[in-house]
Amino acid sequence: MEAYRWFEYPSEDVFLGIADGRSLSPVRRFFCLLVTFDFFFTILLWILSIILIKGATTIPDALEIEVLQYTFRSRMFDVVMAAAVRLTVILLFYGLLGGQHYIPVALTTTGTCAFLITKVFMFSWDQSSNAIYPVMLILSSFILAWSEVWFFDFRVVPLERQARFFNSRQQARGGNSIVNPESQGVMPWLGRNVAHIAQTPLHRSYPESIVDFYSPLESPAHSDAEQESSETESMEKKNLIGKTCNSTPSSAEAVWLQQSPVIAQHLLARVRSDHWVLDKTTDNGDNVFSQKSPKKIFMISGTLYAHISKVVTELFDKFESMPDWNPAVSFCQIIQKLNPVTDVSYQVSKGAAGVSPRDFVTLRHYKVFEDGYHVIAIESVKHPNSPKKPKVIRGLQGTSGWVFKPQVAEPDRTDFQWVLDIDLLLNSFIPKKIIETGIIAASLDTVNFLRTKLACTVDHLDIVRDHSDLHMNSLPGGMPRRNNVDIPSSSHSLK
């Protein structure tokens, strides 16, 4: 098991975003080939059109008519020049310079569309003997220009971002880098860490026992199962979850159980880092910090007016009840319980302002350190019982979570630090500043919702205690005083 200590299985998409040495990543090479195809396809279609339309017997004659006698209203040579401009700009910025921003490809597509629309209105269509070829040339240029910006935004950017995200997590754990292969290439990295993958069929993403897992068919319509009470359905779901959890291989469980304390230790080390920069302080006294490690991560610190046991109970033990008090979360579920302090969870956050909902599959671990820090560590993992759902985008979380420290003078107050290492995989045309502002605003709202929930919990316990004391005092002195109301203790059961 030592070989797995600093390694987790990357998906196939991660390798598509890896740049090996000074070469381009596979997905970026495909993007450059797409632009090259655009240029040569436009030239071929243009040559065929001028030969058939102008009636030239040879290609040099056709080129002389189209180039030397060029006019904007009667020639299509400018469409070829527009494709040449796209090729030059994109290969320069994304091939030679390795640019990451969307502005160059957006400008080439916007300029091409504006030029083609102007061409359609100003071209002398009545002088063309066969207009189908100029129409095909214009439509093909329009479609190819848009396909370039779509491919860059929906394939190049997300895949290379996933590769950088995976690389940052490997480096943070002291593992091997796959994105910076100047010190070691991709193939040597594979040879040292996952040589046994070669013996696994390529079409399988998980071991055979997981891929071949059998899921029961749904009950037929109007069956007796639909008439059962909600309580019975809930029990059946819990039993089903327990069965599916047992189907996960013991090797994966061992890796998660081994990694979870390391994640908690890494989270505490992040909180204690000296690289945090204070961004702002809210009216509630919460501080927002940020640092680049290597991408930008955030940390919110403040005080919760509740005992540490109540805080941990709400955030860890009652995880599935989070949608009841946090409006930003629509669904929470424990996929697999590994031990009393470690599990794999699934969470769906609601979409807002035109942004699709995000879901997260995370490994959670609760640990109490000797110096009194309580840590709830979270990090994204892959689990066979959590396939991606339509219209919900799978987000990624690096080493994130909560770090708590009870105040010595006032035990009912708990200081906290909440580290946010989140990648929502949003489209690249959205400015990073807007994304970061939205993440911080949503996280501060979550903290306020948590305070409200903890305040309601404390008030409820006070009412229960008052009612309990009144009931006990009303009993005759000779009768045994017994209270049937269970009041949670102030110490948490998880050690």
- What are the tokens at 15? 């390798």
- pLDDT for res 72: 81
- pLDDT for res 378: 94
- pLDDT for res 175: 52
- pLDDT for res 213: 38
Backbone dihedral angles phi then psi of residue 308, each to the nearest 5 degrees: -60, -35
- pLDDT for res 322: 93
- pLDDT for res 137: 87
Mean pLDDT of the 47-70 span: 71
User: Could you give the residue range(s) of every CATH 3.30.530.20 domain in the chain?
Assistant: 255-462
- pLDDT for res 11: 57
Q: Are strands 393-394 and 358-368 parallel, antiparallel or unpaired?
A: parallel
Average pLDDT, the chain: 74
Please indicate whether residue 300 or residue 97 has the higher confidence score (pLDDT): 300
pLDDT tens per residue across span 328-341: 899 999 999 999 99
- pLDDT for res 390: 82
Mean pLDDT of the 409-431 span: 84
Indicate whether 199 pLDDT > 80. no
Backbone dihedral angles phi then psi of residue 338, each to the nearest 5 degrees: -85, -40
**Binning pLDDT at 50, 70 and 90, where does residue 3 land?**
very low
| Most confident of the ranges 7-16, 71-80, 372-381, 448-457 | 372-381
Mean pLDDT of the 2-9 span: 40
**Binning pLDDT at 50, 70 and 90, where does residue 176 land?**
low
Indicate whether 482 pLDDT > 70. no
Write down the residue that tokens 């979270």 correspond to.
378
Please indicate whether residue 28 or residue 2 has the higher confidence score (pLDDT): 28
Rg (CA), the chain: 30
Rounded to whole angstroms, the Cα distance separating 290 from 255 reads 30
**Binning pLDDT at 50, 70 and 90, where does residue 128 land?**
low
Percent of all residues in the chain with a pLDDT value above 90, rounded to a whole number: 32
**CA-CA-CA-CA torsion sign (300, 301, 305, 310):** positive
Question: 288 - beta bridge partners?
Answer: 280, 300
For 255-462, give the CATH class.
alpha beta
DSSP 260-325: HHHHHHHHHHHHT-S--EEEEE-TTS-EEEEEESSSEEEEEEEEESS-HHHHHIIIIITGGGHHHH
